[in-house]
Amino acid sequence: MGFHIYLTYFLALFIGISLGLTGGGGSILTVPVLVYAARLEPVIATAYSLFIVGFTSLVGAFGYIKKGIVNIRMAIIFAVPAFITVWLMRKFVIHAMPAQLFTIGNFTLTKDLFLMLFFALIMLISGFKMVHNIKKDSREFKEINYGLVLINGIVVGILSGLVGAGGGFLIVPALVFFMGLPIHKAVGTSLLIIAINSLIGFTGDILNLPYIDWQFLFVFSAISSLGIFFGIYLNQYLNSERLKKVFGYFVLIMAVVILFKELL
């Protein structure tokens, strides 16, 4: 194995640790790691990311389920429109996009460039939310706004389908404001939704990708999952809110780096 593979697996551990430390957000780094460290094409990287994010989120969700702070009914209600949308995106949209989207003068927007620029935008939004740590109302309501849940689920599905990320920064607020979950339940429920969306979405890629490196996927996911437990252990001794802000700044810096790298 080359040095870049060892670096990739080391960063997989870092992704898992960041997930355990911050309670979410670490998965946003999966695609950059796969593109720049593992040297995968962006379309393949977003597909592999869905499996990795789905696998590690499922591991994390089991921990919350054992603690009794996952609302499985709410997760299924939200996940249905989301996983249908992400599957359709991966099966019929991503792989059908032309290699070159359009050309203006000397600038050509390719599919790979579009995916990386869009991903950098999502990283900017995610990093901003982590840095500012917007507080949510923790009151629990009985009524569910099904219309807004449907719209949000579709938006999350489109987002996950495009960039291979879980969309937790959209799911958690939706669970709180539209489905009435208290914040401590929303985080665990979000992980279960992300797992369902990502793993089902990945099946849309299985039918399109000519080759899938299953060994790489399972090793990366296993290392990342181990990192989650290590991060949860460290979280007992560290200030999680401060760590989340620091990680948010790191995500913002990474987003700017990707923008400069891809455009220049």
150, 42 Cβ separation under 8 angstroms: no
- Could you tell me the pLDDT band of residue 131, with boundaries at 50, 70 and 90? confident
Q: Considering Cα of 188, then 192, then 197, then 198, what sign does the dihedral take?
A: positive
Report whether pLDDT(133) > 80: no
Using alpha carbons, select from 79, 98, 58, 36 the residue that is nearest to residue 225: 58
Report whether pLDDT(198) > 70: yes
pLDDT at site 183: 76
43-78 per-position pLDDT tens digit: 999 999 999 989 988 988 888 898 888 999 999 999
198, 54 Cβ separation under 8 angstroms: yes
Token pair recorded at residue 60: 């994390």
**DSSP SS3 for 107:** strand
Q: What is the mean pLDDT of the chain?
A: 87
> What is the distance, to the nearest Å, from the Cα of residue 68 to the centroid of all Cα atoms in its chain?
23
HSE-up of 232 (CA within 13 Å, CB side)? 11
Calpha distance 203→197 (Å, rounded) = 10
Report whether pLDDT(242) > 60: yes
3-45 per-position pLDDT tens digit: 889 999 999 998 888 877 766 666 788 999 999 999 999 999 9
**H-helix segments, the chain:** 3-22, 30-32, 42-66, 72-88, 111-132, 146-163, 168-177, 183-206, 214-235, 240-263
- Residues 236-256: what's their mean pLDDT? 84
Higher-pLDDT residue of 36 and 142 is 36
197, 157 Cβ separation under 8 angstroms: yes
Higher-pLDDT residue of 9 and 232 is 9
User: What are the domain boundaries of the chain?
Assistant: 3-263
HSE-up of 22 (CA within 13 Å, CB side)? 29
- The percent of residues in the chain predicted with pLDDT above 90, rounded, is 49
pLDDT at site 165: 75
154-168 per-position pLDDT tens digit: 999 998 999 887 677
> What is the distance, to the nearest Å, from the Cα of residue 33 to the centroid of all Cα atoms in its chain?
13
Token pair recorded at residue 240: 């999680």
Calpha distance 89→157 (Å, rounded) = 8
Between 192-196, 227-231, 236-240, 254-258, the lowest mean confidence (pLDDT) is in 236-240
pLDDT at site 138: 47
**Angle at the Cα of 57 from the Cα atoms of 213 and 155, rounded to 5 degrees:** 95
Token pair recorded at residue 44: 């393949």
Report whether pLDDT(182) > 70: yes
Higher-pLDDT residue of 187 and 118 is 118
Report whether pLDDT(135) > 60: no
- Residues 176-205: what's their mean pLDDT? 87
199, 58 Cβ separation under 8 angstroms: yes
